[in-house]
């Protein structure tokens, strides 16, 4: 149980730091762009999409390797053990869509629950960031 706690903590800390760094970099880059503000927001949206996709891939790779270890749980259902199935499961978990065609068993379930919570928080953080960026310039017009 200690192993899964340490592993989950490391994965989540990595994800949150990646998200922070990307939003921080976007906040410094967006004002310097020599384009119309509406296109600056588009850059912010695409940057956020890249951040979320990278984070989802990290979770997906964690599921892939945890499933292959055979000791910390496994995924079953419409799951063939491939990296792409692990990424698909991660997308549905991160976005809290939860299709239900792949089910976690064992200690891996803890990471699945944490991914849903982290996904909700980071998507909300991104929405707040983009709202702030829009307000920064739209109030002046």
pLDDT in tens, 43-75: 999 999 999 999 999 999 999 999 999 889 999
Sorted by sequence, the CB contacts under 8 Å of residue 84 that are 6+ apart come out as none
Contact predicate 73/107, CB 8 Å? yes
For residue 103, the 8-state DSSP code is E
How far, in Å, CA of 116 to CA of 119, rounded? Answer: 5
- In this prediction, residues 15-38 reach a mean pLDDT of 94
How far, in Å, CA of 3 to CA of 16, rounded? Answer: 20
Sorted by sequence, the CB contacts under 8 Å of residue 117 that are 6+ apart come out as none
CATH code of 1-11+53-130, in short, is 1.10.287.70
pLDDT in tens, 74-86: 999 999 999 999 9
The secondary structure element, H or E, covering residue 63 is: helix 37-69
């Amino acid at each position: 149980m200690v192993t899964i706690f340490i592993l989950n903590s490391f994965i989540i800390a990595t994800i949150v730091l990646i998200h922070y760094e990307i939003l921080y970099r976007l906040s410094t880059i967006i004002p310097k762009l020599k384009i119309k503000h509406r296109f600056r927001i588009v850059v912010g949206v695409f940057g956020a999409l890249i951040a979320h996709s990278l984070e989802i891939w990290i979770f997906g790779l964690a599921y892939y390797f945890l499933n292959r270890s055979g000791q910390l749980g496994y995924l079953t259902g419409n799951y063939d053990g491939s990296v792409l199935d692990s990424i698909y499961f991660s997308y549905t978990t991160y976005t809290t869509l939860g299709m239900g065609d792949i089910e976690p068993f064992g200690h891996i379930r803890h990471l699945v629950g944490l991914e849903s919570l982290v996904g909700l928080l980071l998507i909300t953080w991104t929405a707040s960031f983009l709202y702030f960026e829009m307000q920064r310039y739209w109030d002046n017009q």
